[in-house]
Structure 1
């Protein structure tokens, strides 16, 4: 195999360059917090493609931060702007974690009021909190009182049979007034707290974008981003005619090449000069540093499998990484070998 070379640093989007976030809400485009997906390896990869997108951590519970043995607040400096999503319902615990997160350098704290899983409900956080607007408001206020960075809420449009527009408005009113929360990310589906799995809750309850648009019209003083079912930047632009921001989840993860156009199309910033192969090779120094710390290659490469979706050789790319990244001693050469299958595709079609 030929010697692996890294792109010249001048070809990368400069991490020190002044971003255009000041011209827009920082919520203009964000990548959703996704449990088991948006870990620090994933966020580093996504940041190579967009300097402007707001990145979110996976949901981290207050119990894990306060009582856990690991460092659940770890992130890389190159990830900014990056928000920590917290799961919890105890105002004092949330305030403690928010303060720790601000000290660590996070740019935003977000409270999860949208996850519908049984495990989350048993811990008294997530979507079930929509039924307790006063408690959510107290949680937000407790965090706002101890930090200077933004504290935001990610929620649904309703839960179970509590899905009227009046219910949603009352929730937003209480959290924004009593809790002094000025930013909401609204998943445009309600959540069924029983009978549907978390995956089904992302697909079965129908999307209701007009309801979220109406919410923004009725609370014009609040910053609101919309989430749920957004698959293209063209769709994002349509939503931005009504909302302050859009949050994309699964599509950004499964088809990450869309992120290469976010800065130019949604922020009016300089286009990212990198191609897909450039992005992968720009990831090599990070991979090498992580391998030196004992990280397994597969923990990083699982996030990059979808980059070449629809491109000849993409299937071979995915297969080579899936079959080889977990082998003992697997390193950057495995990724380079897989990359050759895309840049020099075989005769077999995708």
Structure 2
């Protein structure tokens, strides 16, 4: 039997379906929206547009007339209770996601990531228990791992409040699944990069920040010797994975890594970016105390489970993803710098 191409599969699954994306004007949320709009989904985007986070109306400019935008916070019970009604899918990508901020002020992580998730799940329980929720988490929930690549059975040992809060949110969702039958899929994302990520500061997304520095002709700082490994994943591959999980019944109630099976390191990433950009250089620098406290060492994901259940695998090599990202920001710099 000939395999159905992913885009055709997604269009068949999502055409005419109602989809709510929490954090919908951010990097991953808007990328999901663009793909789902191409499939004919009926999309509502919710975003609090918190200062210095990733929300950017420019991200959904090509589909602005085809989506509904609600500027609200996931902690707003009345708003979320209204928005979840009649939705077929909810993609939950709204979170406080700055590792360093949580070291000096842990309360946004606790309030947004934990209480906000409880608000979402309680709204689903009361007003739309038949909806399917797909939660976007982080590889940071694992902390330092004993074996690589890290699989979903690895015991989580998160280092900071940010990662702890995401793990707590995951447990809240699992509780609602067990006790109230809410269908859910839990994902733990690795280092995602690509178009539509914020580029104003370096607190979210090291790969994209390296690209801004290169495009500006500046020096890319490499902590230590640059040989710490990560599995950098291009945004289009990430979206494919999330949509595949959403449409696969066997994925319900499970946790999945979303990463790349060809890990790289920070020095190789920087060299790839400089070669593609034609500008920038590298300087090695010691870890700051804050970054050293948060650094888990080498990490890359075992993606065997998601491949087995959905058939998904990443298809974008690092050099190709970097080139496409640089091209996007060269054309759209005024909206992201």
Shorter-chain TM-score: which interval? 0.3 to 0.5
TM-score (norm 1): 0.36
User: Which of 1 and 2 has greater Rg?
Assistant: 1
Larger fraction in strand: 2
